[in-house]
Structure 1
Amino acid sequence: MSKMSQTEETRKNLIEAFWELYKEKPLMKITVKEITDKAGYNRGTFYTYFSDVYQIQDILKKSLIPEKDMILDPLMSLEKSGGEIFESFEKTNAYIQENSEKIAVMIGPEGDPSFVHEFKKEIREVIMSYVYEIGIKEPGKFEYIIEYEISALIGIFQLWMEKNEDMDEYALAELMEEVSNSGVTSMMESMLNDKA
């Protein structure tokens, strides 16, 4: 494995310093000086990599968008075998373990109000690209169902974070699966297999 370059390391250190501050206070109260002091660099170094603190926040938000296969695997499972939407939870579990703190801050009371909107939009675009590719009959209607499902899952995740992760990730996944399968999933399965 190659060693991280000095440039990559400096950039990573500045992002980590920003994150440590962002966990503690709102974005508008974070200064470039605080970030550079925490990371051990001068202000000039910050501006070599970033235009302002908002750019770091944008980088952080983009890093939280799940990989395409994690988004599409559950749909492909429904389309091909009528399987359960959360059958393969390993990727989701790893994603939650790696990102739950950052997502909790972003969707929390001091976080970024636009994050949930952007997060849902990115996921919806990946899904809808796939939906158009496979040619289902009612893609517009399917998009509303997807929005419903994503919103519900985010709501469940928010509650889980508010309740200090009062159940493990697997129990949470089973709960989400049960909720989905009692209504939304059967509609999605039917529509995924009803192609033009």
Structure 2
Amino acid sequence: MDAFWQLYSEKRIEKITIKDITIKAGYNRSTFYKYFTDVYDVLEQIESSILPDLEKHKDILMDTNKHLSLIHITEVYNRNKKYFVVLLGKNGDPAFHEKIKNVYKELIRPSFQSIYTDDLTLEYTLEYMMSAFIGVLTYCFTQEEDPDIQKLIQILWNLMHNEHSKIVNLMF
């Protein structure tokens, strides 16, 4: 996995061969196939390992007010920084954007179900919020090599809370 990640950090997945991985890792092809079916399987396993497991982590992902914990997001980022910088960057996996968005949509869904009883409004609200969140993260990772995640979290917090009414008033 480390050998694959080193290669993936440098080039797109379409350009990575199993031969490249096994040479870099110092293993033979049969060892690779013992654990993975192809290069996409390696990427899938890495992505799965850094996405929170909703059932296991539901309590720690939400703060005492049943809101998504920005502290937790910071901890997740710090633990998986080398992956997020690449996966959400310009050469990252577009499917990862959807995966992480869907995980967090499901996580915050219970908090919004009491506010939006109409399913369509709930779905649009969740999509809007998580698309904006992932969009800001992606923008950050394409602009900075080593983003200040604490500052980013503060900006997102301000956008979601203090600044929301100002932005809405400017737009409409």
TM-score normalised by length of structure 1: 0.69
Structure possessing the higher radius of gyration over alpha carbons? 1
Does 2:43 match 1:57? yes
Residues 16, 70 of structure 1: alpha-carbon distance in 2 compared, 3 angstrom cutoff: farther
Q: 1: CA distance between counterparts of 2:150 and 2:99?
A: 26
Q: Which moved more, 1:171-180 or 1:97-106?
A: 97-106
Give the structure 1 partner of residue 169 of structure 2. Answer: none
What are the ranges of 5 or more consecutive residues in structure 1 without an aligned counterpart? 1-14, 79-84, 185-196
1:65/1:123 contact within 8 Å kept:
no
Does 2:65 match 1:77? yes
Give the structure 2 partner of residue 102 of structure 1. Answer: 83
The Cα RMSD (Å) is 2.8
1:153/1:176 contact within 8 Å kept:
yes
Q: 1: CA distance between counterparts of 2:160 and 2:20?
A: 44
2:112/2:122 contact within 8 Å kept:
no
State the percentage of identical aligned residues.
34
Q: 1: CA distance between counterparts of 2:152 and 2:61?
A: 20
Q: 2: CA distance between counterparts of 1:142 and 1:32?
A: 43
Q: Deviations over 1:126-166 (max 9, x none)?
A: 443x3698796234312221211111111221222233267
How many residues are paired up? Answer: 161
Letter in 2 for 1:77: N
What are the ranges of 5 or more consecutive residues in structure 2 without an aligned counterpart? 166-172
Q: 1: CA distance between counterparts of 2:5 and 2:83?
A: 8
User: Which has the bigger relative contact order, CA under 8 A and spacing at least 6?
Assistant: 1
Q: 2: CA distance between counterparts of 1:146 and 1:71?
A: 20
Letter in 2 for 1:23: S
